[in-house]
């Protein structure tokens, strides 16, 4: 099953650095992209996550949202020849403020799917303003329309959405987070939401440095924003790295991984796609911290 994934830029966020990687550059604001993922090549196009509702809504969390016209979801889909009504499924890695904010632009004929545990978690109030009432209420509206909302019981095992696209329980970031596995011609791509925020500072060169252990695999760094324990979060990061050939976070660019969970290449706007040596290339949008702006695909490495 040779599916393809296109990275959609649905807006940028400026937020405190240690929110993304625990203990890193306290008090310093950094930019982060907010991606959605368009899965093509199957029986109908599938979209993973929809970004934040509007720029100002990010201020509820003390962050700044930025979405120029070219990053509007309608325009991002349009670059690939799609309108809202062309999308068959929307899959949510989880329902935080910057992941489920534009579902109401899609017709009820587009089925929204998420882990049932995430639906329960979103209405519990346990993470407060990270779940906007506008987004949660829209899910409830869909709950009462035929085929508008699919709640997945992933604690009982993965569920296949369409051939080549499977949802798996992830945990770690939120109790109901899920990974979306996509079968491409070059292996399994794992769309992991916020289980990983920053590939470089969490996985490649964890901040602060940690013991690698006898097997040589570095211990991943935790984030400053998780609804489970640090142990569970680290387990979720390792799971995302070990389960496929690519890993795709929502707030960083994709990476290829080997069987040991090590980053061997970075990609830009599609998977499979052009790959870059992770040790030789340093691009805004690939890593945080030292960069202050995001740029377009820089061309051949």
Nearest alpha carbon to residue 234 among 176, 181, 173, 177: 173
**Least confident among 117-126, 140-149, 175-184:** 117-126
For residue range 169-213, list pLDDT tens digits in order.
999 999 999 999 999 999 999 999 999 999 999 998 888 766 655
Helix (H) or strand (E) holding 168: strand 165-169
Q: Residue 299 has what pLDDT? A: 56
CA distances from 187 to 7, 45, 49, 179, 244 (A): 17, 19, 22, 15, 7
Alpha helices for the chain (secondary structure H): 17-20, 73-78, 116-122, 133-143, 199, 230-242
How far is CA 218 from its chain centroid? 22
pLDDT of residue 171: 92
> What pLDDT score does 96 carry?
97
End-to-end, the C-alpha distance of the chain in Å comes to: 29
Q: Residue 298: what pLDDT? A: 53
* CA distances for 101 relative to 96, 156, 202, 239, angstroms: 8, 28, 26, 27
Name beta bridge partners: 263.
257
Structure tokens at 156: 């009982």
Identify the CA nearest to 42 among candidates 87, 104, 94.
87
Q: How many CB atoms lie within 10 A of CB 70?
A: 10
Mean pLDDT, the chain, integer: 90
Q: What is the pLDDT of residues 237-272, one digit of tens each?
A: 999 999 999 999 999 999 999 999 999 999 989 999
- 297: pLDDT strictly greater than 70: no
Q: Name the pLDDT band for 215 (thresholds 50, 70, 90).
A: low
For the stretch 26-74, pLDDT in tens is 999 999 999 999 999 998 999 999 999 999 999 999 999 999 999 999 9
Task: Report which of 217, 191, 164 is spatially closest to residue 270, judged by C-alpha positions.
Answer: 191
Structural domains of the chain, with CATH? 4-276 (3.60.15.10)
- Report the percent of the chain where pLDDT is more than 90: 82
Q: How confident is the model at residue 214 (pLDDT cuts 50, 70, 90)?
A: low
């Amino acid at each position: 099953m040779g599916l393809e994934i296109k990275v959609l830029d649905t807006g940028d966020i400026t937020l405190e650095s240690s929110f993304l990687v625990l203990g890193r550059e306290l008090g310093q604001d950094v930019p982060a992209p907010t991606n959605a993922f368009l899965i093509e090549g199957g029986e109908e196009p599938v979209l993973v996550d929809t970004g934040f509702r509007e720029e100002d809504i990010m201020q509820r969390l003390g962050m700044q949202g930025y979405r120029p016209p070219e990053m509007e979801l309608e325009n991002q889909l349009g670059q690939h020849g799609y309108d809202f009504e062309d999308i068959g499924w929307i899959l949510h890695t989880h329902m935080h403020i910057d992941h489920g904010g534009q579902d109401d632009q899609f017709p009820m004929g587009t089925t929204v799917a998420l882990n049932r545990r995430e639906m329960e978690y979103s209405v519990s109030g346990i993470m407060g303003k990270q779940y906007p009432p506008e987004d949660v209420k829209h899910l409830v509206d869909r709950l009462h329309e035929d085929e508008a909302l699919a709640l997945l019981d992933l604690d009982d095992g993965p569920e296949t959405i369409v051939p080549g696209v499977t949802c798996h329980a992830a945990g770690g970031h939120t109790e109901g987070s899920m990974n979306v596995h996509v079968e491409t011609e070059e292996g399994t791509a794992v769309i992991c939401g916020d289980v990983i925020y920053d590939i470089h500072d969490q996985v490649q060169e964890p901040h602060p440095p940690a013991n690698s252990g006898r097997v040589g695999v570095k211990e991943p760094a935790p984030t400053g924003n998780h609804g489970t324990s640090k142990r569970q979060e680290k387990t979720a990061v390792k799971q995302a790295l070990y389960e496929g050939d690519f890993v795709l976070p929502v707030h960083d660019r994709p990476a290829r991984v080997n069987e040991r969970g090590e980053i061997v290449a970075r990609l830009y706007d599609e998977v499979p796609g052009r790959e870059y040596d992770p040790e030789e290339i340093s691009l805004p949008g690939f890593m945080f911290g030292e960069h202050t702006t995001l740029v377009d695909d820089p061309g051949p490495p």
